[in-house]
Structure 1
Amino acid sequence: MSREGHGCRAITLVRVRAAADLGGWTRFVSMQNQYNLLRRQDEPELMALCGDLGVGLVPYSPNGKGRLARPVGEQSTRSTTDHVVQAFDSEYDEPVINAVQELAQARGLPMAQIALAWVLRNPLVSAPIVGATQPHHLQQAVDALAFTLSDEEATALEASYVNAGPSWF
């Protein structure tokens, strides 16, 4: 999606907020968007606007539909059948996934914990939706709360990101 498309989403948020004020309705206090190391297209405009307006983020898919939780080429049962998950198999994403794997190995942690810790670094994020499908996913999510990435680690994870557009699934 073009840069203008993201701006339109930001304008829509402003318009809805104005409509709430005019109608005497409750303003939005949170936004649910897809946000992870592979899908960061909302950062410059929409998420920045949310920060300016005091709108908290409740992002879904912090592990990129599981792609940030396993090495490139490794498939889960879901990834072999789910077309939504397969949309995350992009050549643009491989360097980011590899960076997560490298840091996870260096720290002796699961990749999912690294990816979620990165999302939690964003001060606008109130509560990510982890979408756990197995019991160990919940423990990894809890463990991510106690793990803090250094600025250098976060920069290394972000370095190879390419904005390939949103996944509207």
Structure 2
Amino acid sequence: MEYRRLGASGLKVPALSFGAGTFGGSGPLFGHWGTSDAAEARRLVDICLEAGVNLFDTADVYSAGASEEVLGAAIKGRRNEVLISTKTSLPMGEGPNDGGSSRSRLIKAVEDALRRLGTDYIDLLQLHAFDAGTPVEEVLSTLDDLIRAGKLRYVGVSNFSGWQLMKSLGLADRHGWPRYVANQVYYSLVGRDYEWELMPLGLDQGVGALVWSPLGWGRLTGKVRRGQPLPEGSRLHETASFGPPVDDEHLYRVVDALDEVARETGRTVPQIAINWLLRRPTVSSVIIGARNEEQLRQNLGAVGWSLAPEHVAKLDAASEVTAPYPYFPYRRQEGFARLNPPAV
């Protein structure tokens, strides 16, 4: 397994990490992701560690805390062998302080996560969403307190816009508070919006990307193809409305290119889609998920080899879309491009 620095921090993380959203799954969304109990989870953790995957990502909102509980049970007795990443900020209840990133909420959320995970520290805590109702200074000073107390090692964000992340980094620098070193982002061959602003920001500010849903919310598994109905067992039947939308024609164009590369390389469609991501700037780790051992082993096959330049070019061309203003002039007009070279 290849290990990479997480942004500008000194922490090294595996190129592939494991998403524990399939652990303890329940409800209309997470129940379709997976329902691994502690025994099944422990087996998946075993396979990950054998392959060098030692970073496990979860969130308090995943199955109302059950994912953290199952992950905690699965790593019991080997805490020093793993890195734990979890997220908070999204509402966990209907109460006025059950969501957000206020001082009160963050302290309680961290204590609850530590209890569920069965540990006394979290390697990486990420804010799951920007809280427009709480001053950024309050958020950052609280995270600073939690790091000084030894309960957190590093902090990051997820689903922030560029200005939200940059404002936070600027205030952290001004006051000497911990900087966000990770940005957990949606990025895939059918969702390249990350490249327009957040990737250049990550390059400039030393923020590493942890990629979620690298298979485009299940669209790049190799089972969805032009002219064919969704497979009967596809989770997209139930969960498509929860995830990022994708135009059908754009999806099929990407899948056609993936199929061509698969025939020429002997690799599977998911392996190719993940390997393409591993070549992209700022990507520290790609989070893979699996409902069973077979899926996990297939996804682990995405590392240890590289796509040929001609295959990368084919996938780039098939997946490219016109960026929105003010980004598109940078790619289309020479003057803009000279002043603002693309990140990729």
TM-score, with structure 2 as normaliser: 0.43
| 1:158 alignment partner in structure 2 | 316
Q: Does 1:46 align with 2:198?
A: yes
CA–CA distance in structure 2, aligned partners of residues 85 and 104 of structure 1: 26
CA–CA distance in structure 2, aligned partners of residues 49 and 55 of structure 1: 8
Q: Which one has the bigger helix percentage?
A: 1
State percent identity of aligned pairs.
34
Q: Does 1:25 align with 2:25?
A: no
Q: Structure 2 stretches of 5 or more lacking a match? A: 1-159, 324-344
Aligned amino acid, residue 237 of structure 2:
T
| 2:163 alignment partner in structure 1 | 11
Q: Does 1:77 align with 2:230?
A: no
CA contact (8 A) 2:199 2:281 kept: no
| 2:272 alignment partner in structure 1 | 114
Q: Which one has the bigger strand percentage?
A: 2
CA RMSD of aligned residues (A): 2.2
Q: Does 1:149 align with 2:307?
A: yes
1:86 offset after TM fit, Å?
8.6
CA contact (8 A) 2:257 2:315 kept: yes
CA–CA distance in structure 2, aligned partners of residues 36 and 105 of structure 1: 20
CA contact (8 A) 1:66 1:85 kept: no
Q: Which has the larger radius of gyration?
A: 2
**Count of residues paired in the alignment:** 158
When residues 164 and 136 of structure 1 are mapped into structure 2, their CA distance, relative to the original with a 3 A threshold, is: farther
| 2:258 alignment partner in structure 1 | 100
Q: Structure 1 stretches of 5 or more lacking a match? A: 1-7
TM-score, with structure 1 as normaliser: 0.83
CA–CA distance in structure 2, aligned partners of residues 86 and 56 of structure 1: 22
Q: Does 1:58 align with 2:210?
A: yes
CA contact (8 A) 1:96 1:158 kept: no
Matched position secondary structure for 1:159: helix
